[in-house]
């Protein structure tokens, strides 16, 4: 199968903007081959000004011509979007969906016979540090479609997983930036309470999480081993870690991932 040239986005919100940034500024995709359908005219203008793509409030001008369609509307808006476009796409168009919780089977009903890739990215892809996981339907497997891999690895890491894991991916890395932001804010509050100015506290909290994350990824060491290296006998760190364990921070994070995973499963069942 030929490489994808033109691509049409359905939905031009926050995630679409972040993906467009990767496509235009990182993989240097020609913006004249990118089309966006987005409800709000002012957002269309913004996307055109920022990335040079064609953006309009209807997909009609491009949907029958593009080689790939990227679905980037909220799950609750998906059915209406599919009603608008599904019967108009090119017969061999590849479909990429980032819509949380929506299974391949539901997309296959709308686009029978098409190669379909379901992706769960996250917002740090807007700064080139996204974590995306993707899964193929049989038709995409058959053509070994590389479009999604190319797009999403241009703005971070991208891994292929079995579809049965997509809700768990959503609960961990899809929603995960929110857990990290909450932790950064809470750690900043701790710093302020201990006497640091707010702006320093925020930078210290964020850079500490960034550095710790890099150590995990770059050393390949278990987080427990890295934690041991910070934790001096009778020192400061063990005093802090003890409070975290007493307050159930570990259990709260496990439960947060599970709650988001369950919600992703529920969203997939909404009709």
Ligand X SMILES: NC(=O)C1=CN([C@@H]2O[C@H](COP(=O)(O)OP(=O)(O)OC[C@H]3O[C@@H](n4cnc5c(N)ncnc54)[C@H](OP(=O)(O)O)[C@@H]3O)[C@@H](O)[C@H]2O)C=CC1
Ligand Y SMILES: O=C(O)[C@@H]1CCC=N1
Binding residues for NADP(+): 10-15, 72-75
Contact segment (CB under 6 A) with ligand X among 69-77, 133-141, 217-225, 240-248 equals 69-77
Q: Name which position in 8, 121, 130, 171 contacts ligand X (CB under 6 A).
A: 121
Q: Between 15 and 201, whose beta carbon lies closer to ligand X?
A: 15
Q: Which of 4, 22, 103, 122 binds ligand X (CB under 6 A)?
A: 122
Stretch that binds ligand Y, among 51-59, 87-95, 170-178, 237-245 (CB under 6 A): 170-178
Contact at 8 Å (CB) between 174 and 120? yes
Are 177 and 122 spatial neighbours (Cβ–Cβ below 8 Å)? yes
Could you give the count of Cα atoms lying within 13 Å of 19 in the half-sphere of its Cβ? Answer: 32
Token readout for 175 is 């929603």
Tokens for 178, please give them. 């929110």
CA distance 136 to 103: 11
Sheet holding 34-37: strands in order across? 54-56, 34-37, 7-10, 68-71, 94-97, 116-120, 130-136, 156-160
Q: Taking CB positions, which residue lies at the least distance from ligand Y?
A: 174
| Residue 217: both structure tokens together | 């990824």
Give the binding-site size for ligand X (rule: CB under 6 A): 28
Residue 99 interacts with which of ligand X, ligand Y, none, CB < 5 to 8 Å by class: ligand X
Q: Does 169 bind ligand Y (CB under 6 A)?
A: no
At residue 126, the 3 state secondary structure works out as helix
- Contacts with ligand X, residue ranges (CB under 6 A): 10-16, 37-40, 43, 72-75, 77, 80-81, 84, 98-100, 120-123, 174
Name the site residues for ligand Y (rule: CB under 6 A).
Answer: 100, 170, 174-175
């Amino acid at each position: 199968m030929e490489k994808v040239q033109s691509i049409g986005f359905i939905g031009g919100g926050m995630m679409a903007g972040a993906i467009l940034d990767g496509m235009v500024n990182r993989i240097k995709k020609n913006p004249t081959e990118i089309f966006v359908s987005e409800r709000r005219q002012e957002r269309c203008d913004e996307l055109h000004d920022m990335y040079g793509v064609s953006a309009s409030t209807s997909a009609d001008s491009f949907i029958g011509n593009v080689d790939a369609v990227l679905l980037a509307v909220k799950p609750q808006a998906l059915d209406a979007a599919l009603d608008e476009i599904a019967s108009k796409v090119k017969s061999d168009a590849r479909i990429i969906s980032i819509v949380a919780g929506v299974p391949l089977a539901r997309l296959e009903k709308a686009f029978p016979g098409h190669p379909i890739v379901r992706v769960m990215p996250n917002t740090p892809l807007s700064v080139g540090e996204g974590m995306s996981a993707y899964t193929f339907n049989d038709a995409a497997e058959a053509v070994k479609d590389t479009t999604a891999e190319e797009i999403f690895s241009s703005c971070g890491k991208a891994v292929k997983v079995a579809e049965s894991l997509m809700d768990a991916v959503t609960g961990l890395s899809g929603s995960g930036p929110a857990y990290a932001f909450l932790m950064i804010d809470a750690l900043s509050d701790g710093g302020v309470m201990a006497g640091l100015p707010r702006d320093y506290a925020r930078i210290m909290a964020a850079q500490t999480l960034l550095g710790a994350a890099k150590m995990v990824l770059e050393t390949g060491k278990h987080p427990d081993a890295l934690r041991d290296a910070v934790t001096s006998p009778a020192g400061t760190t063990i005093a802090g870690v003890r409070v975290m364990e007493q307050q159930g921070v570990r259990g709260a994070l496990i439960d947060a991932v599970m709650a988001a995973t369950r919600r992703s499963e529920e969203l997939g069942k909404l009709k």
